[in-house]
Amino acid sequence: MNKKTEATSKTLADLVYQKIRTDIISGELKASEKLRLSNLCKKYDIGMSPLREALARLTGDALVVTEGQRGFWVAPLSIEELDDITNVRALLESEALQQSIQNSDEEWKDELSMAFKELTRIEGELKGRSYDLVPEWEEANKVFHEVLVSRCQSQWMKKMIKILIQQSERYRRISLTLAESKGNRNVHDEHEAIFHAAIQGNILKACRLIEVHLNLTTDNVRQVLEESI
């Protein structure tokens, strides 16, 4: 069907999987929305086979739910699940951070410093404006959190954290489209505190701080969600 799909070792199923995942997390595909296969075929310009494969994989990520012979839906959102996700994520991410700090070396500290510096730089350029939905900040924020736990040796821990972050992101992104986030919070200071504790090897403090950080983010999201329901 493609004449010379150069530089593409990926399958169409892969590509559409990523596209749909992005669209669910961004909220373009709305929570609980029915996913009609023929519509998606047109929308993503693709056949049934790769589409179904992609949806099957998204079901594994809990971004899509499916029922017998009745089709697929975007997974619903709920405040209960948001809290659940946050709790499990805090448990896993603080454990991963602990291990990461225990395995830390100079290289890690350099990487972390650079990630924090980059984040700070972007925040400076935004001069007071909200960070949310600014792509560069989103990316730098993601990198900072990834580097934090990067020295954790457990592949399974990382795999699960990845899924949970995906879920959190969906809640956060969707809450941002519903209302401007309340500015009574200094995310930069939270990051800075985590950064210093991590660099200093203060495991307990770093873990406590990251748990607080996750919970504060969730508090924001929950507030918006509660109002909008």
Partner DNA sequence: ACACCAAAAAATATCGTAATTAATGGCCGA
Partner DNA sequence: TCGGCCATTAATTACGATATTTTTTGGTGT
Question: Which range binds its own copies by CB under 8 A, 24-32, 46-54, 176-184, 208-216?
Answer: 46-54
Residues in the chain, overall count? 229
User: Contact region for its own copies (CB under 8 A) — 114-122, 154-162, 192-200, 210-218?
Assistant: 154-162
With CB under 5 to 8 Å by kind, the binding choice for 62 among its own copies, DNA, none is its own copies
Give 8's DSSP letter: -
Which residue stretch of 21-29, 33-41, 62-70, 169-177 sits at the interface with its own copies (rule: CB under 8 A)?
62-70
List residues near DNA by CB under 7 A. Answer: 1-5, 8-9, 11-14, 34-38, 46-50, 52-53, 66, 68-72
The CB-based long-range contact list for 111-114 (8 Å cut-off, 24+ gap) reads: 111/147, 111/150, 112/144, 112/147, 112/148, 112/195, 112/198, 112/199, 113/195, 113/199
- At 71, is the secondary structure helix, strand, or coil? strand
Q: Is the separation of the CB atoms in 61 and 163 below 8 Å?
A: yes
Binding its own copies (rule: CB under 8 A), the pick from 157, 178, 199, 216 is 157
Pick one of its own copies, DNA, none as the site partner of residue 59 (Cβ within 5 to 8 A by kind): its own copies
Q: Which ranges constitute the DSSP H helices of the chain?
A: 12-26, 37-44, 48-60, 79-102, 106-126, 135-148, 155-178, 187-199, 203-228
The contact set with its own copies (CB under 8 A) reads 9-11, 13-14, 49, 52-54, 56-57, 59-62, 68-69, 81, 84-85, 87-88, 91-92, 95, 153-157, 159-160, 164
